[in-house]
Amino acid sequence: MHAEEKLTYETWPAEPEKSTLEAKNKFLGFWLFLGGETVLFASLFATYLALKDKVPSADHALAKDLFDLPLTFVATMLLLTSSLTSVYAMYHMKNFNSQKMMLWLGITVLLGLGFLGLEVYEFNHYVHEYHHKFTSSAFGSAFYTLVGFHGAHVTFGLGWILALMIRNYKRGLNLYNAPKFYVASLYWHFIDVVWVFIFTVVYLMGMVG
Amino acid sequence: MSTYAQKKGFGSVIWDYLTTVDHKKIAILYLIAGGFFFLVGGIEAVFIRIQLAVPNNDFVSAGAFNEIITMHGTTMIFLAAMPLLFAFMNAVMPLQIGARDVAFPFVNALGFWLFFFGGVFLNLSWFLGGAPDAGWTSYASLAIHSKGHGIDFYVLGLQISGIGTLIGGINFLVTIINMRAPGMTYMRMPLFTWATFVSSALILFAFPPLTVGLTLMMFDRMFGSNFFITENGGNTIIWEHLFWIFGHPEVYILVLPAFGIFSDVFSTFSRKRLFGYSSMVFATVLIGFLGFMVWAHHMFTTGLGPVANAIFSVATMAIGVPTGIKIFNWLLTMWGGSVKFTTPMYWAFAFIPSFVIGGVTGVMLASAAADYQYHDSYFVVAHFHYVIVGGVVFAVFAATHFYWPKIFGTMLNEKLGKITFWLFFIGFHMTFFVQHFLGLWGMPRRVFTFLPGQGFEMSNLISSIGAAFMSAGVIVLLINVIVTSVKNEKVGNDPWGDGRTLEWSIPSPPPFYNFKQLPLVRGLDPYWLEKMEGKKGMTPAEPLGDIHMPNASFIPFVIAFGLFVAAFGALYNGEKSWAVPVIIIGLLITFGSMLVRSLKDDHGFHIHKEELMDDNDKGVKA
Amino acid sequence: MKRLANWRLISLLAMLALVLTGCSGEPFVSALKPAGEVADMQYDLMKLSTYIMVGVILVVTIIFVIVFFRFRRKDDKIPKQVEGSHKLEIIWTVIPILLLLILAVPTVAATFKLADIKEMDKKDSDALVINVRSHLYWWDFEYPKQKIVTSQDLVVPTNEKVYFNLKSLDVKHSFWIPAVGGKLDTNTDNVNKFWLVFDEDRANEAGNLFYGKCAELCGPSHALMDFKVKAISRAEFDKWVKDMQAVKEPKKAKTELAAQGQELFNESCIGCHAVTPSNQMPDTARIAPNLTNFGERSRVAGILDHNKEELMNWIKDPESYKPGNLMTGKYKDFTDQELEALAEYLMGLKVQE
C-alpha cells in the first residue's frame, strides 16, 4: 500500500496510523519518545519537589500564598477538554472525514490557546503581585521551569497541529499524513497528562502545604 | 535515481556525505568524527601523564590541567566512545537483522550532525577563552563558581550532542523492533544487536535527566536562576543526582555494545555458537535494568546516610552476577572450539583478564564503607579505565579490525594490527595497574601535581611511560589505516571465512540497499546455518521486487547548525548585545527547517526490479 | 605464540611481587597502613573483598589458560555447536551470589557503624567535636566546646572517638585523612557528620603527623589543599587546648624585627587573618586561616616547608605556589626587609612555650 495513494472511504484502513511500515515506525518511535519525555518531566518534578518553598528570606511568597485554585481549575478544564476534542478529531480521521477532523482540531487549538492565555496571565500575576520571579529564589526557578517547560510543550504542540492543518487543509487525508495527525494528537494527550500531574503536585499539594 | 554506480568528483562526495541518510555512510561519518575526537582526547591524556610523570612538574599550569582533565573525560565519553560505538551500530546492526536501512534514516543523519556540532562547539572552547574546568562530572558548586565561559561550552555542547544521541537511541529501538527480516525473531538476534537494543533503551531513559541537569545549569549560569545557588535556596546535590542517574547507565550504554562486539568475535573465531545464548541475552537485559538502580554509589561520600548507602551498595554488588555469567559464557564459548587468533580475537581474548580486573575492583568499590577510602582517589581512576579502556576501547579496536572489511571492502593489515595490540595492551596495564596502588597510598584524583616524599613518584613515572606505549599503538593503527586504504585490496562477502551472521552474507561493502531480497532467517547464526548446509548464501524470503529508499537531505545538517548558532547566543547572553538576536536566528533556522521537513512531502524513491537484475548480471559489488 | 604465555606469567609474577614486597605506601598517608579504628574496618573490608576477588580471578585464569593452549585452531574441523549447559550456568550464577553475600553482610554492618554519631548529638556528652569548614584551598577547624579555632594543622587526641561536623563555605571539597579513615564530602548545602579514631601507637610510628587531603576537585589548587593532623595523647591535647584558650589577645612580638612585622601585619593582614583563637565570630566571617599558633605549625600554606624563607616566598607571591588562592592581591607588595619582619613575627606566634 503506497502512502500517497488516493483512497476512498471504503478503502481507508481501520488503523490508518499503522498501515505502512513508515507509519508503524513513526507510531512506535513517537511512543518511545514520549517515554523519554516522561523521564524528562519526572526529573523536573523531582527538582521542583526538592526546591519547593526554598527561598532566601522570609519575605518571599511560598506556594501556599501564591496559588489561586479557581484560575488553575479553569485552565485544567480547558486543557482536559482539548484532549477530548482531539479524540473526536482522531475519530473522524479514522472515518476518513477530513473536514470534521479539521473542525475538531480547530477547536482543540482554540482551547489550547485559551489555556496558554491563562498561563501567561497567571505568571504575570505572580511576578507583579508577589514578586515571585524566575530569578528571585530557587523555588521561583523550579516553579517557572517545570510549569514553563509544560507551557513550551503546549506552544510547540499548537504550532505543530496548526502547521499540519494548514498544510493538509485542501488535499485531505491519505496514508502519508494520517500518521502525522495521529502522533500530533498523541503528543497533545501527553501534554494533557503532564498537566494533570502538575495540577496535583504543584497546585493542589501546594495549597495544602 | 540510480546514482550508485557513477564515479563522482571530490565535491560531490562531500555533498553526498553532508546529505546522506544511508546508515552505512552515517557509520563512516561517526567513525571519522569519533576517531578524530578519540585522538584529541588521547593527546589530552598524554598531556596529563606528562604533567604527572614527576612531582611538582610545571609542564602545564594548574588551571590548564583542570581544563585538560575535564575535556579528556568529556571528549572520551561523549565524543569518542559513544560515536565510535554508534558507528558500528549503524554499520552493522541493520545488516545483522536483515534490514535495508534504519527506521528513520533522516533522524539518523540528524543525530549524527547534532553530535558533531555539539562536539565541535565544546572543543571551540579551547580557542574562545578556555575550556571547561570542573571535571567531566561538573559538580554544581564548582561549575557555578568557575569563571569564563568554559562551563557554558560544556553545558551547551553536551546538550546539543545529547539530543543527537537520544534520537539515535530511539531510532535503533524502532529499527530493531519493526524492521527485522522474516524469521529473525528476538531470540535469533546476534548479541551485538541485542546490546544495541538494550543500550538504546538505556539512552532513552538516561539522557533526559542529563538534559534536565544541563538545562538547570544553563539557566543558572546564563539566565540568572537559582537551582544551585545555596544562598537563594538552591541545592547542589540535585545536580549530583541528575548527573549520576544519567552517568551510571551511561557506563552500561558504553559497555553493553562492547560486550556485544566481543560476543560476536568470540563465537566467530571459535567457530562455535555462543555458549548460553539465552542467558547472555538475559544478563544483558538484567545489567541494563540494574544499571538504573545504582547511581548513588557514585555519591557514597556525599552524606546520603547509611540506609541509602547500604541499599545502593548491595544493589551495585548484584550487577556483578550477570557480568560474571557473561565472562564464563565467553570462556565456555571458546572451550571446545577451534580458536583462531586474528587481531580482533587478540583484543577479545585480552579483554577477558583486563575487564575482570575492572569488574572485581568494581565490586570492591561497591562496598560502601570501604569506598570511603577509594572514592575520588586514583583507585577509582584505575578502576574505570580498566572498565572503559579494557572493555570499551578494546572492543572498539576489535570491531575496527573485525568490521573494517565490511565497511570499506578491504582488510586492515594483520601484522600491524597485532603490533598495535601489543603496544597498546602493554601500555594500558602499565599505565593503569599501578594507579590502583597510588589511590590506596593516598593520592586523590584530579590533582595537577603531587608533592615529593609521599611515596607516589615511582608509580606515577611507570604510569606515564605506559601512556607512551599506548600512544605508539594508536599511531601504528593510523599507519595501518593509511597503508590499507592506499593498497585497497578488495575482499569478498565473508573475508574472515568464519562469518556467522547476516552481514557476512552480502558484499563488502554492501550495496546501498543492503539486501536485494530480504533473507529468510532459520535460526541463530543464520549465515552459518546456510554455510553448514553447503549453500553459498541466504535463501531469499521474497521475490525480487522494487525497493523503496529514502531521499538524501541537507535538512539534518541545517537543523543541527541552527542549534550550534543559537548556542553561541546563549553563551554570550547578558554580555554581548548581539546575543539575543543570535539565539533567535539560530532557533529560527532550526525550527524553520523542521517545519520545512514536516510540511514538504518526502516519499523517497524506488529502485526498480530491472535495475537490480542489471546488478546481478554485472556482479557488481557496490 | 609461546611468547604470549610467558609474558603473561612474568607480568603476573611481577604484579604479585609488587604487592608482596610490602608496597603499602607511607604510614602517614596510606590507606594500606591503617592507623585507627575506622581505617582498620575499611582495611579489613578491602582485604576480604580482595581475597574473594583473587579467588574469582584464579578460576577465570585457569579456564583462560586452558582455552588458550587446548583449543587453538589446528585443523579445519568444525567444532560441535554447543548451546549451553544449565548446570554450569546455575553454578556460575549461584556461587557469585554467595560470594557477594559474604561481602555484603560486613559491608552493611560497617556502613551503619561508621555512620553512628548518636554520641555527638547527646546533651552533656563529653565527646570531642570538631567543626571543619573547608575553603578554597585551606581548612578551618573549630572546637566548639573548647571555644577555640585553628586552621591547617588539625590537633586531635589519640585513642578516642573524635566527631566531625563538615561543611564547605565556597565550593564542595572532601575531607580525607587516608591513614585514619575514609573521606566525607564537605557540602555547601548541609553539614555532614562522622567520626574517626587516631590510634596512639600507630600515630607514633607515623611521626604523629598524618597527611590530610582534599579529595574533591575544587579548582586549580585542589592538588595543594593539604592539611596535617597532629595526633597527640589526651593529656598533651588538654594542655594544648589550655594554652590556646589562654591567648585572649594577640601576643606581643618579642624582638624588634618581629615588632615591625607585627605592625605590618596589623596594617595589611589582620583584616582577614585572626591571631587569637576565639570562636566568637561565625564561621562565615573567618575568611582566612587563623594564625594564632602559626609558629608551631608543620607547613606553610599547607604545602611548603615550615621555615622563614618559604614563608617569605609565599607571602611574596602566593599565586605561584597555590594558583587561584584568594590571598593573592589582597595586600601591598612588601619589600624584602618587610617580608623578613613579617616572617619573624609569624614564626614567633606560638602558644606552647
Q: What's A108-152 look like in SS3?
A: HHHHHHHHHHHHHHHHHHHHHHHCCCCCCCHHHHHHHHHHHHHHH
Residue whose C-alpha is closest to residue C353's, from C251, C268, C215: C251
What are the backbone dihedrals phi and psi of residue A112, each rounded to the nearest 5 degrees, phi first?
Answer: -60, -40
- How far is it, in rounded angstroms, from Cα B375 to Cα B397? 30
Count of other CB atoms within 10 angstroms of residue B312: 21
Do the beta carbons of residue B439 and residue C30 sit within 8 Å? no
Half-sphere exposure of B359 (CA within 13 A, CB side): 28
Neighbour-count burial of A152, counting CB atoms closer than 10 A to its CB (0-12 exposed, 13-18 middle, 19+ buried): exposed
Beta pairing, strands C148-151 & C181-186:
unpaired
pLDDT digits over B195-245, tens only?
Answer: 999 999 999 999 999 999 999 999 999 899 999 999 999 999 999 999 999
- Measured between beta carbons, the chain A residues lying within 8 angstroms of B204 are 32, 35-36, 39
Helix/strand/coil for A33: helix
Cell numbers placing C188: 555547601
Half-sphere exposure of C147 (CA within 13 A, CB side): 7
**Does the structure show a pLDDT above 80 at A37?**
yes
Distance of CA B302 to the CA centre of its chain: 29
**Domain spanning C2-114 has what CATH number?**
1.10.287.90
Residue whose C-alpha is closest to residue B198's, from B259, B241, B277: B259
User: Which residues have CB under 8 Å from B307's CB, separation 6+?
Assistant: none
Q: Any chain A CB within 8 A of the CB of B209?
A: yes
Q: Which regions of chain C carry the CATH code 1.10.287.90? A: 2-114
DSSP assignment of B109-150: HHHHHHHHHHHHHHHHGGGTT----STTTT-HHHHHH--SSH
**Does the structure show a pLDDT above 90 at A35?**
yes
- How far is it, in rounded angstroms, from Cα C165 to Cα C143? 10
- The CATH number of A74-209, from 3.30.360.10, 3.30.450.40, 1.20.140.10, 1.20.120.80, is 1.20.120.80
Per DSSP, B53 falls in state S
Alpha carbon of A53: minimum distance to chain B alpha carbons (Å): 8
Beta pairing, strands C181-186 & C128-135:
unpaired
Which of C50, C93, C103 is the closest to B325 by Cβ? C93
**Does the structure show a pLDDT above 60 at A13?**
yes
**Does the structure show a pLDDT above 60 at A1?**
no
Task: Name the residue of chain B whose CA is nearest to A180's CA.
Answer: B598
**Crossing angle (nearest 10°) for helices B191-222 and B150-178:** 150
- How far is it, in rounded angstroms, from Cα B44 to Cα B132? 13
- How far is it, in rounded angstroms, from Cα B264 to Cα B270? 10
Q: Any chain A CB within 8 A of the CB of B599?
A: yes
Residue whose C-alpha is closest to residue A22's, from C302, B175, C5, B307: B175
Do the beta carbons of residue C291 and residue C271 sit within 8 Å? no
Do the beta carbons of residue C128 and residue B345 sit within 8 Å? no
Average pLDDT along chain C, 353 residues, taken 10 residues at a time: 54 58 80 94 94 92 93 89 90 93 95 92 88 95 94 95 95 96 94 95 93 95 95 95 92 90 93 91 91 93 93 94 93 93 93 82
Number of helices (H), then strands (E), belonging to chain B: the values are 21, 2
Classify the complex by whether its ipTM is higher than 0.90, answering yes or no.
Answer: yes
**CA end-to-end distance (rounded Å), chain A:** 57
- How far is it, in rounded angstroms, from Cα A157 to Cα A112? 9
Question: Does residue B508 or residue A18 have the better pLDDT?
Answer: B508
Beta pairing, strands C161-168 & C128-135:
parallel
Domains, chain B: 18-532+541-553+602-618 (1.20.210.10)
Which of C97, C183, C187 is the closest to B376 by Cβ? C183
Tell me, yes or no, whether chains B and C touch by having 3 or more C-beta pairs under 8 A.
yes
Q: Any chain B CB within 8 A of the CB of C211?
A: yes
- How far is it, in rounded angstroms, from Cα B29 to Cα B477? 18
* Model confidence band, residue A2 (pLDDT cutoffs 50, 70, 90): low
Neighbour-count burial of C82, counting CB atoms closer than 10 A to its CB (0-12 exposed, 13-18 middle, 19+ buried): middle
| Residues B212, A47: C-beta atoms closer than 8 Å | yes
Do the beta carbons of residue B504 and residue B540 sit within 8 Å? no
Which of B328, B373, B449 is the closest to C178 by Cβ? B373
Which of B216, B232, B601 is the closest to A176 by Cβ? B601
- How far is it, in rounded angstroms, from Cα C222 to Cα A206? 42
Alpha carbon of B236: minimum distance to chain C alpha carbons (Å): 7
- How far is it, in rounded angstroms, from Cα C260 to Cα C262? 5
Beta pairing, strands C227-232 & C153-157:
parallel
Cell numbers placing C94: 549461584
Residue whose C-alpha is closest to residue B274's, from B331, B324, B348, B319: B331
Average confidence (pLDDT) over B33-50: 97
Question: Does residue C15 or residue B110 have the better pLDDT?
Answer: B110
Half-sphere exposure of A85 (CA within 13 A, CB side): 19
Q: Any chain B CB within 8 A of the CB of C64?
A: yes
Which of B211, B219, B232 is the closest to A40 by Cβ? B211
Half-sphere exposure of A17 (CA within 13 A, CB side): 20
Residue numbers of A between 85 and 104 with CB closer than 8 Å to B: none
Average confidence (pLDDT) over B1-28: 80
Question: Does residue B408 or residue C18 have the better pLDDT?
Answer: B408
pLDDT, position B313: 95
Neighbour-count burial of B57, counting CB atoms closer than 10 A to its CB (0-12 exposed, 13-18 middle, 19+ buried): middle
| CA B51-B55-B58 angle, 5° bins | 45
pLDDT digits over B74-106, tens only?
Answer: 999 999 999 999 999 999 999 999 999 999 999
Instruction: Name beta bridge partners: C184.
Output: C175
Half-sphere exposure of C353 (CA within 13 A, CB side): 6
Do the beta carbons of residue B149 and residue B228 sit within 8 Å? no
Instruction: Name beta bridge partners: C231.
Output: C156
Largest alpha-carbon pair distance within chain B? 78
| Residues C83, B235: C-beta atoms closer than 8 Å | no
Amino acid in the structure at residue A173: L
pLDDT, position C15: 60
Helix (H) or strand (E) holding C123: none
Q: Any chain B CB within 8 A of the CB of C55?
A: no
pLDDT, position B4: 47
**Does the structure show a pLDDT above 80 at B160?**
yes
Cell numbers placing C149: 579555632
- How far is it, in rounded angstroms, from Cα B454 to Cα A104? 76
User: Which residues have CB under 8 Å from C54's CB, separation 6+?
Assistant: none
The mean pLDDT of chain B is: 93
| Residues A43, B231: C-beta atoms closer than 8 Å | no
Task: Name the residue of chain A whose CA is nearest to B167's CA.
Answer: A33
pLDDT, position B471: 96
Chains that touch C (3 or more CB pairs under 8 A): B
- Measured between beta carbons, the chain C residues lying within 8 angstroms of B278 are 84
| Residues C111, B368: C-beta atoms closer than 8 Å | yes
Tell me, yes or no, whether chains A and C touch by having 3 or more C-beta pairs under 8 A.
no
- How far is it, in rounded angstroms, from Cα A112 to Cα A108? 6
Q: Which single residue is written with the C-alpha cell 607588595?
A: C333
**Does the structure show a pLDDT above 80 at B446?**
yes
What sign has the CA pseudo-torsion B572, B577, B583, B585? negative
- How far is it, in rounded angstroms, from Cα A196 to Cα C339? 69
Task: Name the residue of chain B whose CA is nearest to A177's CA.
Answer: B601
Average confidence (pLDDT) over B309-322: 94
With pLDDT > 70 as the criterion, what percentage of chain A qualifies? 97
Average confidence (pLDDT) over B106-112: 96
Q: Any chain A CB within 8 A of the CB of B130?
A: no
Distance of CA B98 to the CA centre of its chain: 23
pLDDT, position B324: 93
Alpha carbon of A54: minimum distance to chain B alpha carbons (Å): 5
With pLDDT > 70 as the criterion, what percentage of chain B qualifies? 97
Count of other CB atoms within 10 angstroms of residue C182: 29
Amino acid in the structure at residue A1: M
Alpha carbon of B164: minimum distance to chain A alpha carbons (Å): 13
- Measured between beta carbons, the chain A residues lying within 8 angstroms of B238 are 46-47, 50-51
Q: Any chain B CB within 8 A of the CB of A58?
A: no
| Residues C107, B338: C-beta atoms closer than 8 Å | no
Average confidence (pLDDT) over B380-406: 96
- The CATH number of C125-353, from 2.60.40.10, 2.60.40.420, 3.40.50.720, 3.40.1670.10, is 2.60.40.420
